[in-house]
Amino acid sequence: MKTERLAVHYARRTLESGGEQRTRKGTGTVYRIVVRGELSGRYTIAFEGLEMETEAGRTILTGKVIDQPHLLGIIDRISGLGLDLVSLEPCPQSPKTTR
Domains annotated for the chain, with CATH where assigned, are 2-90 (3.30.70)
Give pLDDT, residue 76. 96
Give pLDDT, residue 8. 57
Mean pLDDT of the chain: 80
- Whole-structure pTM value: 0.67
CA distance 10 to 4: 10
Lowest-confidence range among 8-17, 70-79, 84-93? 8-17
Residue pLDDT, tens place only, 47-59: 999 999 999 999 9
Closest CA to 35 of 53, 48, 10, 9: 53
Question: Do the beta carbons of residue 87 and residue 34 sit within 8 Å?
Answer: yes
CA distance 39 to 45: 12
Please say if the pLDDT value at position 62 is more than 90. yes
97 backbone dihedrals φ, ψ, rounded to 5°: -90, 140
